[in-house]
Amino acid sequence: MTLDWLRQRQSAKWRMFGSDVLPAWIAEMDFPIAPPIAEALRHAIDISDLGYRSEAGLAEAMVECADRMWDWRPDPRMVISVSDVVVAVGAVVSVLTSPGDAVVIMPPVYPPFFESVTVSAQRSLVQVPLIRDDTRRCTMDLEALAAAFARTDVTACVLCSPHNPTGTVFTRAELSSLAALADEHGVAIITDEIHAPLTMPGETFIPYLSVAGDDARAVLVTSASKAWNTPGLKCAQIVGTGATDALLRAQIPHDIQYGAAHVGVIAAVSSYRDCGPWLTDVIGIIDANMRWLEQEIPCRLPLAGFVRPQASYLAWVDLTAYDLGDDPATVIQQHGKVALSQGHTYGEQGRGFVRINAGTSPAILAEILTRMERGITAAA
């Protein structure tokens, strides 16, 4: 996996910037695709199986994967396929809320959530920022959430679990407290768990629906695309509960429910059923990369703040002490020729931060950090 090989790719990660810029921004890994996925896609092409999508085997494969990973078996009859998680969030918010309602999000958080609520669903936002505990780990502000949920206009909350960009894996106790607040105030919880399969060794991911129960006003949205690196194939899943499934099926528009690509379904089934060993290997590389960053960042960027994530390949780095302004990613790109995600797009709490994509080889990650150091030094 060399830079020359990677630069053959036509995806946004490798075509957004010039060839002199090393991309480490969008959440797309550099690793070769899992062989079983490649084989399944080649077979589809060999037999000209590129027609309209069916959902054959998708729900069952997803349920089997959830059972293996988290000892949780959602009802496969409650799995709906859609194109992607961003579309799913907007659609579900539209169904579970009404015009004039408000929806809680917890910044800094995945930037499309803002538009999923305000543009796609046309609802207002209530922001309840994450807080840091005594270990510097980001977590939910349950007291502030209780106050927000008590508002008469708040009817839903979008949770990112594991959290992007901070990498927090919420504990069972934290999720149980959230579920209790939601039940008390009649707030629907929409949880994006797309990063769950990328939970690091030694950490325990808890599916929210397994805590909330089948009678909860709750919905899971997820996809195999993040963990198995196939976002371009467009296949995500919505999973309801006994309290939400019928409403979702009745009210999510037909074009959204049929938005998943046939090749996306083929890849997702293969991911969930056949690609566990590939994922284990990738997680091992990511874990080593994050531990390397944990050692190197204090040495090379001593004013930076970094807490090793509990999940995913995204490193959330605080550069506010370097006085590079609200958008250090742009400054670093100009002076260091490395493209990072802009922290301020994750909300006000992200000003002065950058997000590094560490889903790459150790050699490329070392070059990313070298260019960051060079860019910060040159801008000083």
CATH code for the domain of 296: 3.90.1150.10
**Distant-in-sequence, close-in-space partners of 238: CB < 8 Å, separation ≥ 6:** 79, 80, 81, 82, 88, 91, 92, 219, 220, 221, 248, 252
**Which pLDDT band holds residue 187 (cuts at 50, 70, 90)?**
very high
**Which pLDDT band holds residue 14 (cuts at 50, 70, 90)?**
very high
Considering the domain architecture, whether residues 287 and 270 belong to the same structural domain is answered as no
Considering the domain architecture, whether residues 64 and 85 belong to the same structural domain is answered as yes
Domain that holds residue 320: 3-30+277-379
Q: What is the pLDDT of residue 261?
A: 95
Considering the domain architecture, whether residues 239 and 300 belong to the same structural domain is answered as no
Considering the domain architecture, whether residues 161 and 260 belong to the same structural domain is answered as yes
Considering the domain architecture, whether residues 179 and 202 belong to the same structural domain is answered as yes
Considering the domain architecture, whether residues 266 and 120 belong to the same structural domain is answered as yes
Mean pLDDT of the chain: 96
Q: Which of 274, 291, 311 is the last residue of a domain?
A: 274
pLDDT at 380 > cutoff 80: no
Considering the domain architecture, whether residues 21 and 46 belong to the same structural domain is answered as no
Q: Which two tokens stand for residue 167?
A: 């990498």
Considering the domain architecture, whether residues 210 and 292 belong to the same structural domain is answered as no
Considering the domain architecture, whether residues 284 and 174 belong to the same structural domain is answered as no
Q: Could you read off the pLDDT of 208-260 as tens digits, one per residue?
A: 999 999 999 999 999 999 999 999 999 999 999 999 999 999 999 999 999 99
Considering the domain architecture, whether residues 302 and 223 belong to the same structural domain is answered as no
Q: Could you read off the pLDDT of 124-144 as tens digits, one per residue?
A: 999 999 999 888 899 999 999
Q: What is the pLDDT of residue 295?
A: 97
Q: Check: CB of residue 81 under 8 Å from CB of residue 58.
A: yes
**Which pLDDT band holds residue 114 (cuts at 50, 70, 90)?**
very high
Mean pLDDT of 306-334: 96
Domain total for the chain?
Answer: 2
Dihedral, 361, 365, 368, 369 alpha carbons, nearest 10 = -170
Mean pLDDT of 366-371: 97
**Which pLDDT band holds residue 379 (cuts at 50, 70, 90)?**
confident
User: Is residue 7 classed exposed, middle or buried when 0-12, 13-18 and 19+ CB atoms within 10 A define those classes?
Assistant: exposed
**Distant-in-sequence, close-in-space partners of 193: CB < 8 Å, separation ≥ 6:** 161, 162, 205, 207, 208, 220, 221, 222
Considering the domain architecture, whether residues 119 and 184 belong to the same structural domain is answered as yes
Q: Which of 274, 297, 313 is the last residue of a domain?
A: 274
Considering the domain architecture, whether residues 299 and 257 belong to the same structural domain is answered as no
pLDDT at 360 > cutoff 90: yes
Mean pLDDT of 51-57: 90
Q: Which of 253, 274, 295 is the last residue of a domain?
A: 274
pLDDT at 103 > cutoff 90: yes
Sheet bearing 79-82, strands edge to edge: 79-82, 236-239, 218-222, 188-192, 154-160, 102-105, 124-127
Q: Which CATH number covers residue 192?
A: 3.40.640.10
